[in-house]
Amino acid sequence: MHLSRLAERHPAKPAVIEAATGKVTTYRELDEASLRLARLLADRGLEPGDHAALLMDNGAGYFVAAWACQRSGLYWTPVNHHLTAGEAAYIVRDCGARALIASGGLGGAAREVADGSPGLTVRLIDGAVDPPEGFGNLREATAPYPAEEPEDEREGYYMFYSSGTTGRPKGILPELTGEPFGTGRKLDPLLPVLFGFGPDTVYLCPAPLYHAAPTGWTLGTMRHGGTVVLMDRFDAARTLELIERHRVTHAQFVPTMLIRMLKLPEDVRPRHDLSSLRTVVHAAAPCPVEIKRRIIEWFGPIVYEYYSGSEGNCFFLIDSRDWLAHPGSVGRPTFGTAHVLDDDGRELPAGEVGTVWFEGAPAFRYHNDPDKTAGAYNDRGWSTLGDLGRLDGEGYLYLVDRRADLILSGGVNVYPQEIEDVLTVHPAVADAAVVGAPDPETGQRVRAVVQPADPAAAGPELAAELIAHCRARLAGYKCPRTIEFTGELPRTPTGKLLRRLLLDAPAEKAR
């Protein structure tokens, strides 16, 4: 699991293949570049336990920076480069970063972020011909340093911030172990056991690396000597082409990606040979049951789903066989015990919906936010991610929604995810979201915002068809009274819906 040992064994093996250009970065190149950067950071005064921030797009340079920080014993925070400069600067300040490493194509944003982050002592940019003021060219700056291993390499850890779907992002601070570099993170030894990762793994990463799962699984692939095929952005048809071209063995998606692949034209999917796939994983958001069935029919019984969070206080897992026996479930816990409690903290029986809590899970805390940390724990020391769900008699968990998204209409709980699942499977719907809207009689009414597959179809006729579609499958009180149409729903690149944006502004067209 030590990058330098892998580079010694497989110097010319591709560690990263950039899908957009075909550019290959070998294990030797990655190891040597990360060693030089690690030595620079140490020379500039960064010590184990200090923080660095990465403002980088999906490219091999990200891994150079990540491995340099990881082998230096640093906390390192990937920053979403789609944020405004002010939002990104908040994260860089909040995590206490002393170093900012940015991609060349993000030079303008990097300068704005640095200007709003007075604690920075190191500013480097990768690949820029003309670095912005105050930044050094990473490759030129690291060139004088030897690609030799320091004697005291220690494992660092990434520190991710939440997506900020319901408010300002919060940092989840992990505990540094102080173990020698090469020991690995908690995830690394699980990948071979649970998902069959090894030296022959070719892992397709279709999502932005500034999110936890893409970074965790790509680094885990490299820890075991595999190859990462890195997409700069997700495209459904392109994904199938890459699986066939690179003989991809493992891939991870979010439900939105799966839906878009399923909704490709009927003549597109059969064109591609996907027989190399051994493991397909999905997570990050609930997947509609009908969609999941179709995915298993398409890929075969190689589909896994997990439920977890950056907090690290739970990990539920379910394979295809178990899911077909328990459709809609995210599985059973791999550690600890799950409980479903009502608002008064009482344990609910199997089948009843409440807040999901975890007993016997690793502790975590939110960086610089003791109130949020305290709110994630109850008086028994159990922690929660704020999700609503139910357990069946065998201990399988079924997620219902997030508490923050709950709609209370006429005193009755309405769960947006259930309605979204029904809308999403309609062939005329590319994407759907459901939120609560103020109502003088019921307190809140169900408001649906739909992204039509064909924008020209948006109008009263399609709205009526979708409402009838819902009424045929859902109780009347759950059905949207109106359907509004939009060109595109606000989602993060990992598929999480930014509901607050829908609450703040109306859709483009109301029907």
Same fold, 28-183 and 406-510: no
Say what the pLDDT of residue 504 is. 59
Residues 6+ apart with CB under 8 A from 34: 3, 63, 64, 65, 67, 68, 71
302: pLDDT strictly greater than 70: yes
CA 224 to chain centre: 21
Nearest-5° Cα angle at 255, 251 to 257: 65
User: What is the distance between the alpha carbons of residues 21 and 19, in angstroms, rounded to a whole number?
Assistant: 6
359-390: per-residue pLDDT in tens?
A: 999 999 999 999 989 999 999 999 999 899 99
Q: What percent of the chain has pLDDT over 90?
A: 76
Q: How many CB atoms lie within 10 A of CB 495?
A: 22
Closest CA to 384 of 332, 329, 331, 339: 339
Q: 350: phi > 0 → left, psi -120 to 50 → alpha, else beta; which?
A: beta
pLDDT at 163 over 70: no
Pairing of strands 97-103, 75-78: unpaired
Q: State how far Cα 437 lies from the chain centre.
A: 28
pTM score: 0.86
Residue spans of the domains in the chain: they are 28-183, 406-510
Q: Give the per-residue pLDDT at 326.
A: 97
The domain covering 406-510 belongs, at the CATH homologous superfamily level, to: ANL, C-terminal domain (3.30.300.30)
- pLDDT tens profile 312-353: 999 999 999 999 999 999 999 999 999 999 999 999 999 999
Structural Rg of the chain based on CA atoms: 23
Q: What CATH code would you report for 28-183?
A: 3.40.50.980
The three state secondary structure string of 7-45 is HHHCCCCEEEEECCCCCEEEHHHHHHHHHHHHHHHHHCC
| DSSP annotation string for 177-210 | --PBTTS--SSTTHHHHHH--STT-EEEE-S-TT
Q: Which helix (H) or strand (E) holds 55?
A: strand 51-55
- Rounded to an integer, what distance in angstroms lies between the CA atom of residue 299 and that of residue 220? 23
User: If you average pLDDT over residues 157-161, what whole number do you get?
Assistant: 94
Average pLDDT, integer, range 455-470: 94
In this model, does residue 84 exceed pLDDT 90?
no
Span of 24-38, 266-280, 292-306, 413-427 with lowest mean pLDDT = 413-427
Taking residues 180-184, what's their average pLDDT?
Answer: 96
Percentage of the chain surpassing pLDDT 70? 96
pLDDT at 278 over 60: yes
Q: Average of pLDDT values for 126-142?
A: 91
Q: pLDDT, tens digit, for every residue of 384-422?
A: 998 999 999 999 999 987 777 878 776 677 888 889 989
Report pLDDT digits (tens) over 85-127. Answer: 988 999 999 999 999 999 999 989 999 999 999 999 999 999 8
Q: What 3 state SS string does 123-166 have?
A: EEEECCCCCCCCCEEHHHHHCCCCCCCCCCCECCEECCECCCCC
